[in-house]
């Protein structure tokens, strides 16, 4: 039997625009607004704050196949961090070789794509990855 587990990072009522306006780096702030518009357009969802620093779009209950544990989370999201912009796409980015070869300058983590600024990447390829992530939901 599954059990819904409350995790620390929850959707909040904090204002997304207020959060983005507090981002110190002007380039990151501008890129954050561009990513918000891109994710909003592709997902047809409004941005919501998750925890203190993640902007998420949509909701989904994820169930661990190993433990049966369930958590509520967003479909796609991102966070402007000091070092880079962290995009949470919940896909194995490395399995999309054709797209990532055309993407530009980035790093990857488990389900995350790290970019320094939007001008470092091909935004059409980023849109493809976002659409792919939403299709897997």
* 42-98 pLDDT tens trace: 999 999 999 999 999 999 988 877 888 888 899 999 999 999 999 999 888 878 888
If phi > 0 it is left, if psi is from -120 to 50 it is alpha, else beta; for residue 114 that is beta
3-class SS of residue 22: coil
> Looking at the DSSP assignment, which residues form a beta bridge with residue 11?
50
Domains of the chain: 3-135 (3.90.1150.200)
C-alpha dist (Å) from residue 18 to 33, 40, 69, 117 = 12, 17, 33, 21
pLDDT on residue 137: 62
69-73 sheet: strands from edge to edge: 3-4, 69-73, 60-63
pTM as predicted: 0.91
């Amino acid at each position: 039997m599954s059990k819904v587990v409350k995790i620390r990072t929850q959707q909040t009522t904090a204002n997304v625009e207020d959060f983005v306006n507090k981002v110190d780096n002007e380039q990151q702030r501008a890129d954050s607004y561009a990513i918000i518009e891109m994710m909003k357009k592709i997902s047809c969802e409004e941005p919501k704050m998750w925890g203190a620093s993640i902007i998420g779009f949509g909701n989904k209950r994820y169930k661990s196949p190993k433990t049966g544990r369930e958590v509520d989370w967003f479909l796609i999201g991102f966070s402007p961090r000091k070092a880079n912009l962290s995009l949470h796409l919940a896909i194995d980015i490395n399995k999309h070789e054709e797209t990532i070869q055309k993407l530009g300058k980035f790093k990857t983590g488990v389900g995350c794509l790290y970019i320094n600024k939007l001008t470092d990447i091909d935004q059409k390829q980023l849109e493809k990855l976002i659409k792919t992530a939403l299709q897997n939901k």
